[in-house]
């Protein structure tokens, strides 16, 4: 690996750009990672991106991401731009020999995701690493849940339930945005938040979806635009039922019109010997039921995931001092930097992102055809640990 500090460029400075910038700015204060420098933040509005760069700790700003690809002082490209830009930027960065971190979902279409995965595989032969940003894998409680499942504490997992609910589109007068247009967003609640739930099901269980059925619904067909009403061309809510390798069932519900729910991700895992439940609104807690205990002693018990031997927490605060949502991005950057240092494949890989993309495409096809869809199974893409 290059001995001089790694140069980092981030593409995008809005919601995800801010979250990723916070991680780059803080990761070295808590974790032992390779030396790096926040070189440049890229965005389309020169004034706004310059202000964001100064605020978020970047040395400079730029307005054309293409100029960044040819710079010798850039080693890592962190893509926080909307999904319709992912494929073009990621492929260009990989071909230029840059390590790539890209926000989820991998792309807007399955075809784009396949091209990105092929580019990542080719670049990997030259030591260039790539990773997709499913940040909830880095919630310590969910990382602990995966460990408990892998250790057999739940016995054989039979089924998983996941619901990701938000309400920011509940108001029918909420304005039109790029997230509501298929050409820029790819899909609505399905790709935006159901992708997280699908990735968690596969991550926690170590199994992959092999069959999917789904329903999509757009409750508000038009939204106010700058020049009048515009058609909404993506879903407001999505439902999916899945059958996984390992003879396991799962269900996912995702909505951006669930009135009163701000950012609620809830996961339930049920096995022959125990169960786990998690709520993102109680991010530092994991509920665990040991079904092997005598019936008179059974019941869900709360595990406060704040101990130094819990995943990631050795770097943070004394026991009982909770961490937050933003820390998942810090953990993500830490894992990515260590993988680059060690020359190892970070997880989730583009291959794993492609697997999620296949499931998203299957749900959409099922919703359109009103039928179940078989997901192309590739056991080599089974979710790896971090």
**Looking at residue 1, what is its pLDDT?**
57
Least Cα distance to 35 among 76, 94, 65 occurs for 76
Mean pLDDT, range 139-163, rounded to an integer: 98
| Phi/psi at 295 (5° precision) | -55, -35
Residue 374 pLDDT grade (very low, low, confident, very high; cuts 50, 70, 90): confident
pLDDT at 150 over 70: yes
pLDDT at 371 over 90: no
Residue 376 pLDDT grade (very low, low, confident, very high; cuts 50, 70, 90): confident
**Looking at residue 383, what is its pLDDT?**
45
**Looking at residue 115, what is its pLDDT?**
98
**Looking at residue 268, what is its pLDDT?**
98
Q: What is the pLDDT of residues 337-361, one digit of tens each?
A: 999 999 999 999 999 999 999 999 9
Residue 305 pLDDT grade (very low, low, confident, very high; cuts 50, 70, 90): very high
d(CA 21, CA 28): 13
Least Cα distance to 290 among 277, 279, 275 occurs for 275
Mean pLDDT, range 309-331, rounded to an integer: 97
Strands 228-231, 6-11: pairing is: unpaired
**Looking at residue 81, what is its pLDDT?**
96
pLDDT at 372 over 80: no
Asked if omega into 348 is within 30° of 0 (cis), the reply is yes
The mean of the pLDDT values for the chain is 95
Q: What is the pLDDT of residues 175-211, one digit of tens each?
A: 999 999 999 999 999 999 999 999 999 999 999 999 9
d(CA 6, CA 22): 17
Domains of the chain: 6-135 (3.40.50.720), 140-339+347-381 (3.30.360.10)
Residue 373 pLDDT grade (very low, low, confident, very high; cuts 50, 70, 90): confident
pLDDT at 2 over 70: no
Mean pLDDT, range 202-225, rounded to an integer: 97
């Amino acid at each position: 690996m290059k001995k001089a500090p790694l140069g980092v460029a981030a593409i995008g400075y809005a919601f995800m750009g801010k979250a990723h910038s916070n991680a780059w700015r803080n990761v070295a204060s808590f974790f032992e990672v390779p030396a790096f420098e926040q070189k440049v933040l890229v965005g389309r509005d020169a004034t706004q991106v310059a202000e964001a760069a100064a605020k978020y700790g970047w040395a400079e700003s730029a307005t054309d991401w293409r100029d960044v690809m040819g710079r010798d002082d850039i080693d890592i490209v962190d893509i926080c731009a909307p999904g319709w830009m992912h494929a073009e930027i990621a492929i260009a960065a990989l071909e230029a020999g840059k390590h790539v971190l890209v926000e989820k979902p991998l792309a807007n279409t399955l075809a784009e995701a396949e091209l990105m995965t092929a580019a990542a595989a080719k670049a990997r032969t030259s030591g260039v690493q790539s990773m997709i940003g499913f940040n909830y894998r880095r919630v310590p409680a969910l990382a602990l849940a995966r460990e408990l499942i892998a250790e057999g504490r739940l016995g054989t997992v039979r089924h998983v339930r996941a619901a990701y609910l938000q309400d920011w589109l509940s108001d029918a007068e909420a304005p039109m945005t790029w997230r509501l247009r298929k050409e820029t967003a790819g899909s609505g609640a399905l790709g935006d938040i159901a992708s997280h739930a699908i990735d968690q099901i596969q991550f926690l269980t170590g199994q992959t979806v092999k069959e999917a059925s789904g329903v999509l619904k757009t409750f508000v067909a038009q939204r106010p635009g700058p020049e009048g009403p515009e058609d909404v061309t993506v879903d407001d809510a999505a439902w999916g039922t899945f059958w996984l390798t390992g003879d396991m069932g799962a269900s996912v519900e995702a909505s951006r019109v669930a009135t009163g729910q701000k950012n609620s991700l809830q996961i339930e895992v049920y096995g022959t010997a125990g169960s786990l439940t998690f709520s993102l609104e109680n991010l530092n807690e994991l509920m665990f039921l040991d079904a092997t205990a005598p019936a008179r002693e059974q019941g869900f018990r709360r595990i406060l995931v704040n101990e130094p031997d819990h995943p990631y927490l050795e770097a943070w605060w004394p026991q009982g001092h909770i961490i937050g949502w933003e820390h998942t991005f810090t953990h993500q950057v830490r894992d990515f930097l260590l993988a680059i240092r060690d020359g190892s494949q970070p997880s989730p890989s583009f291959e794993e992102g492609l697997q999620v993309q296949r499931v998203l495409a299957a749900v959409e096809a099922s919703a359109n055809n009103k039928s179940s869809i078989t997901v192309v199974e590739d056991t080599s893409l089974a979710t790896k640990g971090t």
